[in-house]
Amino acid sequence: MKKNILLSIISGLLLWIAWPPTAYTTILLFVAFVPMLLAMEDIINSTSYTNKGRKLFWTAFLGFFIWNTLCIYWVYNSLKDAGAIIAIFIALIPYSLGPLLMSTACWLYYRLRRITSRNFALADLVVFWIGYEYLHQNWDLNFPWMTLGNGFAVSHSWVQWYEFTGVYGGTIWILLVNILLFLAYTKLAENDNRKKVFKTAAFGIVVFVLPLIFSLITYYTYKEAENPSNIVIVQPNIDPYEKEGKISHTKQIEILTRLSDSLAQPNTEFFIWPETAISGYMNEDKIRADSLFILAKGFIKKYKNGNLITGAETFRLYNSRKTPTASPANEAGTMFYDSYNTALNIENSGQLQFYHKSKLVPGAEELPFGEALSFLKPAFEHLGGSTGGYAGQPEPGVFYSQSGIGADPVICYESIWGEYVAESVKRGAQFIAIITNDGWWGNTSGKDQHLEYAKLRAIETRRWVCRSANTGISAFINQRGDIVKHSDWWVKAAMKHDINLNSDITFYTQYGDFIPKGISILAAGGIFWVIFNLRLRRRNVKLSGSK
């Protein structure tokens, strides 16, 4: 058993070393699962172990826990100032569930091994893994940060075919190569026919090489159509823990306008300010009379063709509970309100466009399973930004300039949802504007991973990404996923660039996450089959015991 524990630990460490933002080690993703598969194989074939399913589950969990913890330790850093123990515990659940769900996929593989062949069960392991990733992307405890396909964010030239498959294509690629190498090794160890060993290894090499060659050819031959637009992005570098109180809201806007003016040109079409750049709460129904909005509007008036995309904190008041997310605004219960993490598009016309962040951070911005756990809502008041009760909107949005340019407003956490971003592109967005505030995590790999993941959105949609990060790293990313210009960490900065707008629709933009949607149906069928056979086995045991 000690050998299996060591193998699991090795897998966890290899996955961590290969994960962004580490460079030059991505190739380890293609061997990192082999030690874990060998450990599971030993448990399955052992004649001395009892409770094999339990042993396999916890052996796998150890490796996945090491991998996840070393990669996303920064989540705990972001809660260093949180004061409510219950709030911290609930907020950490989405991030901690990953290893449990990964281990469950391995346990389901073990159950199938008891009733099917090894090769069939290994194919179903891929199915169960994709099912876990898609579940963890879409339920209330969502956290798709550790989706395997994200592992290529640093080596983005390897996965230019994400414009067809999205990140789930990368997940399948990693798992298939690992499984084929595992089979080649086990066949060799079992003294199988040398030709079978060679064929399996050769097939694994082909599965690795062909997508890589296709991607590299695409990367080096891809040419952007010329359709320039001048963009200015701003990084005000205001500590998120000081945004409320220590620096006045007016002073914050002065910093933003000064940085913007320093690079603005007469033909600048978009200025992009970060998430919650306008941090004083504004009533959306009276926003044009708000002093902070007037300051922002005054800035953009200087630029005839300019648009200002900025983060803001807004709310709406109701005289009744008009929405499921509305909270009481007074003790009498006669007024209610919704709070929003908002993106605004402010221009020189009378038009004002709103987008409300919809992919909310579980715990910090949204209480998971809100109706069932509503009694815990007050516990989240120390988590920053919200009491766990932001409201969102049901679908992605697109901002249109007076000249008809479409921009996809993406707020922070939303940038790791490929299909969600692609939906805005399908609706007319010609570039992606990510506004974020990564300072909560400090100078950790969290800010770097978040930046790297944005490159995958550029590839999937073939759109430029203009990323404004308050205290993170701001950047321009081209349609191949290259970071062509970026700021440093924790500095005030402004950058400008002529990006190329694109109106073409990629296969992935058109069809989204078709891979996990189809495979999840197979995963549900596999789970049903496992449950059916477990119940059948228990019934047979009872019948044999009663004779």
Q: What is the mean pLDDT of residues 219-239?
A: 96
Amino acid type, 204: G
Q: What is the mean pLDDT of the chain?
A: 90
- Give the C-alpha separation, 105 to 57, whole Å: 9
Q: Which of 156-160, 241-245, 346-350, 488-492 has the highest mean pLDDT?
A: 156-160
DSSP state of 225: P
- pLDDT at residue 203 tops 90: yes
pLDDT score for 190:
82
Predicted confidence band of residue 384 (pLDDT cuts 50, 70, 90): very low
pTM: 0.93
Tell me which of 18 and 320 has the higher pLDDT.
18
The residues, any chain, with a CB within 8 Å of residue 321's CB and separated by 6 or more, are 336
Looking only at the bridges linking them, the beta strands covering 228-235 and 268-272 are: parallel
- Give the C-alpha separation, 397 to 407, whole Å: 9
Are 434 and 465 in contact by the 8 Å Cβ rule? The answer is yes
For residue 464, which of 435, 433, 509, 493 has the smallest C-alpha distance? 433
pLDDT in tens, 422-444: 999 999 999 999 999 988 788 89
CA 104 and chain centroid, separation? 21
Predicted confidence band of residue 383 (pLDDT cuts 50, 70, 90): very low
pLDDT in tens, 442-470: 889 999 999 999 999 999 999 999 999 99
Alpha-carbon dihedral angle through residues 64, 87, 252, 298, given to the nearest 10 degrees: 100
Angle 461-235-482 from CA coordinates, rounded to 5°: 35
Q: What would the two tokens of residue 188 be?
A: 């060799």
pLDDT in tens, 159-195: 999 999 999 999 999 999 999 999 999 988 887 778 8
- Give the C-alpha separation, 86 to 329, whole Å: 24
Predicted confidence band of residue 197 (pLDDT cuts 50, 70, 90): confident
Phi, psi torsion values for 238, nearest 5 degrees = -100, 120
- Give the C-alpha separation, 24 to 486, whole Å: 20
Q: Could you count the other beta carbons within 10 Å of the beta carbon of residue 429?
A: 29
- Give the C-alpha separation, 464 to 483, whole Å: 10
Are 441 and 460 in contact by the 8 Å Cβ rule? The answer is no
Q: Left if phi > 0, otherwise alpha if psi is -120 to 50, otherwise beta: which for 464?
A: beta
- Give the C-alpha separation, 462 to 481, whole Å: 8
Amino acid type, 505: I
Q: Could you count the other beta carbons within 10 Å of the beta carbon of residue 221?
A: 8
pLDDT score for 387:
46
- Give the C-alpha separation, 529 to 109, whole Å: 12
Q: Could you count the other beta carbons within 10 Å of the beta carbon of residue 73?
A: 14
Provide the H-helix boundaries in 190-248.
Answer: 194-221
For residue 178, which of 238, 230, 228, 129 has the smallest C-alpha distance? 129
- Give the C-alpha separation, 176 to 184, whole Å: 12
